[in-house]
Amino acid sequence: MKLRQSVDAAPGRSPRQAIPFLLPALVVLAALVLYPLVFSLIRSFFDAGGDEFVGLRNYVDTFTDPRTLTAFRNNVIWVVVAPAAVTGIGLVLAVLTERIRWATAFRLVLFMPMAISLFASGIIFRLVYEEAPEQGVVNAALVGVHDLFSPSSQYPGARPRDGYTRTEEGYVATAPSRAGDTVMVPLTGFSPQEVPARALPASQPATGNGELRGLVWLDVSVGGNAGKVDPIERGLPGIGLEAVRDGKVVARTTTGDDGRFTFPDLASDEVVVRLPASNFALPFRGLTWLGPSLITPVIISSWIWIMTGFAITFIAAGLSAIPRDALEAARVDGATEWQVFRRVTIPLLSPVLLVVFVTLVINVLKIFELVFVIAPGSVQSEANVLALQMWQVSFGTGGDQGAGSALAVILFLLVAPAMLFNIRRFRRERS
């Protein structure tokens, strides 16, 4: 029997009736998506101005340009690290939320970043990772923890005036001294306002019998004499000093409230007075998160913050679709919870995990705004990714639309496998 096409299955309905329904969407798609795709492909074989055919030169240039190579490297890091991390975290959290009653609220909180713009998320994380501990909460927390274990010095940045050389260990007197001497240590580079309140006016100690004595004071040159103890000047309490002989520390002492110190029982040999660096250490200011070396991990962390909610919600939907029977049968068969998870849940969930993963990979390949916003201008080249590079080359500073088109085509080719994955999944679901 000869088959008629199913096309006009119902009398009086012609395929032509589809035209008015399809036309608006098709025109827009053809003009602004399909035609541009073809155009970009062709355009990528022409030079910056679009006048001269240059063959594959744009592609060759692209793969030899160090900026693009950095972008490639970063894209690889992104693809390798980020989707797997988000899928993993999402899986763990989705499973954990199955045990709690406020699961919906929890998922809602984690999903919220999906609603706001990548620009706003970028601002949020720029603030989170801001270097100054007065502004960035991460560094503030780091400094807090750091100072808990090694408190910062009392006189950051202060230094002796003359007669001392700077070494790893601290400031070492150029001239040796011995018991009975008086050592004067005038310090500068420190604001009088920050001298502790308990400090007393400085005065030179009397020469002691058999003791090495001395004074550490804040020597202001304005309104006083440099290197001399003036009436308005105060001693600096709490400064540690060491007496060193032949490279070995033989005695330690600390200045009193009037800035005076004493090494009580030194033998008669010569020693060198040293002020350990810890007295003057600059405070810990946290890490340079937005600097060249950490910028990509930082941006990835913000992306994880944005996408985890998506993964959780998707995976949780997958989890709830797993038939209870299968899990219960496994339990009845004597499997432990872990075995149930490994042998039943994960295999049944794997299609969902794959979809989540692929989706995240596509998303990662197109990452643009986060890098653009979070990376400060000076390190953007370090944080560069293809999508950003494409924009910069064609619209930013570059203005080379040939190279930009080549990058666009490369981006398209990178996404193409995902495209095929989607089409195959769609076809399978249909049948």
Residue closer to other proteins by CB (options 42, 175) is: 42
Residue closer to other proteins by CB (options 99, 248) is: 99
Q: Based on the shown chain and the rule CB under 8 A, indicate whether residue 36 belongs to the binding site for other proteins.
A: yes
Q: Based on the shown chain and the rule CB under 8 A, indicate whether residue 286 belongs to the binding site for other proteins.
A: no
State which H helix or E strand residue 241 sits in: strand 240-245
- Contact segment (CB under 8 A) with other proteins among 61-69, 167-175, 242-250, 351-359 equals 351-359
Burial 216-247 (b: 16+ CB within 10 A, else e): bbbbbeeeeeeeebeeebbbbbbbbbbbbeee
Query: 317-325: which pairs have CB atoms within 8 A and are 24 or more residues apart?
Result: 317/352, 318/349, 318/351, 318/352, 318/353, 319/94, 319/95, 319/98, 319/345, 319/349, 322/348, 322/349
Residue closer to other proteins by CB (options 251, 418) is: 418
3-state secondary structure 283-349: CCCCCCCCCCCCHHHHHHHHHHHHHHHHHHHHHHHHHHHCCHHHHHHHHHCCCCHHHHHHHHHHHHH
Q: Based on the shown chain and the rule CB under 8 A, indicate whether residue 247 belongs to the binding site for other proteins.
A: no
Q: Based on the shown chain and the rule CB under 8 A, indicate whether residue 235 belongs to the binding site for other proteins.
A: no
Residue closer to other proteins by CB (options 55, 334) is: 334
Distance CA 390, CA 402 (A): 10
Q: Based on the shown chain and the rule CB under 8 A, indicate whether residue 80 belongs to the binding site for other proteins.
A: no
Q: Based on the shown chain and the rule CB under 8 A, indicate whether residue 351 belongs to the binding site for other proteins.
A: no
Asked if 206 and 306 touch (Cβ cutoff 8 Å), the reply is no
Least separation in angstroms between CB 100 and other proteins: 6
Please give the residues from 113 up to 142 whose contact with other proteins meets the rule CB under 8 A.
113-120, 123-128, 130, 132-137, 140
Least separation in angstroms between CB 171 and other proteins: 32
Q: Based on the shown chain and the rule CB under 8 A, indicate whether residue 249 belongs to the binding site for other proteins.
A: no
Distance CA 36, CA 283 (A): 56
- Residue whose pair of structure tokens reads 């009088």 in the numeric block: 192
Distance CA 20, CA 13 (A): 14
Q: Based on the shown chain and the rule CB under 8 A, indicate whether residue 253 belongs to the binding site for other proteins.
A: no
Q: Based on the shown chain and the rule CB under 8 A, indicate whether residue 93 belongs to the binding site for other proteins.
A: yes
Q: Based on the shown chain and the rule CB under 8 A, indicate whether residue 397 belongs to the binding site for other proteins.
A: no
Q: Based on the shown chain and the rule CB under 8 A, indicate whether residue 427 belongs to the binding site for other proteins.
A: yes
- Contact segment (CB under 8 A) with other proteins among 28-36, 177-185, 240-248, 260-268 equals 28-36
Binding-site member from 182, 204, 288, 422 for other proteins (CB under 8 A): 422
Q: Based on the shown chain and the rule CB under 8 A, indicate whether residue 279 belongs to the binding site for other proteins.
A: no
